[in-house]
Amino acid sequence: MWISQDLIEKTKEALYEKTKDERVLWASPLEIVCLAKQKKCKVDFNTLLRSFSANHCTAEDVANLFNYLNSHGEGNVEREMLLKVIAEPEERKVLQEVKCLIDRYYPKRKKNPLEGIPKIKQFVTRFRNKERHYRSFAIPKRNGGRRIIEAPTQELANIQRLILKKILYRNQIWNSNSSVHGFVPGRNILSNASLHKEATVIVRIDLKDAFRNTKEEMLVKHLKEYFTEKGAKILVRLCTYKGHLPQGAPSSGMLLNFVLGELDGKLKKIAGFMGWRYSRYADDLTFSCVEFNKHTVGIGKLIERVKSMIKDYSYRVNEEKIRVFKKNRAMRVTGLVLNSGKPTISRKFRRNVRAKVHNFVTKGIGNEKEVLGYISYINLANKKYAKKLLRMMEKLPSTHVPRQDAIGISSGVASE
């Protein structure tokens, strides 16, 4: 067990002065810690623990130290601090073993997620009939077909936003995988597409009914790792409808990411091993390859491997939506075209949105919020054109928040 040399020497000196026992001069760091406690010599345990490195100790050393701390009432050592310390080194031979020991001796203290949030507590006491708190309707999909939206009432939506902000974000209940770009602060369709901008081949795979197939029991299982079982079940009851995540609730996107976290990690790892890149935006999975070589696994094998892994996690692939794009034709990722070497909005889509703006301004056809949504989408990859469309909109008085703020033009999130 290694700790900083300076601390070891200072502790040895203090022990020697107190005991006059020469054995302390040759003691191991672990023995120093134990002797210091036995002789009631003051030792800064947090500092000692902070200085150890997992790749310089054995699992047995850590077990002995944790056993000692546990038996001598040092149970206030912070679990999060220990996990942070062992995550520092790049080469960590016994990291998983150490984590298991931390779980054993310093288990997570599960708490009631509603503690300190009276507004949610009050709502729970009168939340009885879910049917009264949702309305279902269909909207047309961009590529045909219809999507069923299950939208919560304004009151329930506000509670779900509160859960998102005060509970899920605060307790870091999210998928931090760098491959995930949907429903993640600071990421969007542009960051997702940019990951594949150098690709010569792109494979897109769609999860069939991803929200509907994310069941209550899956959510409870994951949330129980952070909260009491009762608290986890309350959160799930507030954020699900008819036994699944509703597509239309503010909390659904992040909870979907949370449940898919382990699958994302495995897909990223297997894709890298096969010579591909991986990203996901909501239910849209993208795999890309810059160039084929002897180490690159073929498209067919990649698709079959991915389908098998997805099935293992109780999800399904939409066979009709599997797409393969190659450099000699338009390559699209989350609606953006990549053939120019950077994500762009297609000319056809820009023309269609311009027509919608024109019809709204001159004939009153359409909905301002919907039109602003289209402009916001264009703004992600073509800020200059979005400003042009916004100037057309300014011919009419706004009935909403300032339009620049509504579509994020003033934030400069995208390049021209």
Task: Give the pLDDT confidence of 310-336 residue by residue, as tens digits.
Answer: 999 999 999 999 999 998 888 999 989
Task: Give the pLDDT confidence of 159-185 residue by residue, as tens digits.
Answer: 999 999 999 887 766 666 789 999 988
pLDDT, averaged across the chain: 79
| pLDDT for 255 | 96
| pLDDT at position 399 over 60 | no
Domains of the chain, first to last: 3-105 (no CATH), 118-337 (3.30.70.270), 346-395 (no CATH)
Q: Which has more pLDDT, 264 or 339? A: 264
User: 340 pLDDT band (50/70/90 cuts)?
Assistant: confident
pTM of this structure: 0.70
Question: 229-239 and 154-162 are packed helices; what angle lies between their axes, rounded to 10 degrees?
Answer: 140
User: 359 pLDDT band (50/70/90 cuts)?
Assistant: very high
| pLDDT for 108 | 64
Least confident window among 228-242, 333-347, 392-406: 392-406
Please state the rounded mean pLDDT for residues 270-295.
92
Which of 80, 367, 400 has the alpha carbon at shortest distance from 226?
A: 80
Residue 286 φ then ψ, to 5°: -125, 130
Least confident window among 69-83, 134-148, 152-166: 69-83
User: 213 pLDDT band (50/70/90 cuts)?
Assistant: very high
Q: Which has more pLDDT, 53 or 313? A: 313
Contact present, 108 and 120 (Cβ < 8 Å): no
Residue 310 and residue 322: Cα distance in Å, rounded?
A: 14
| pLDDT for 394 | 81
Least confident window among 16-25, 182-191, 319-328, 394-403: 394-403
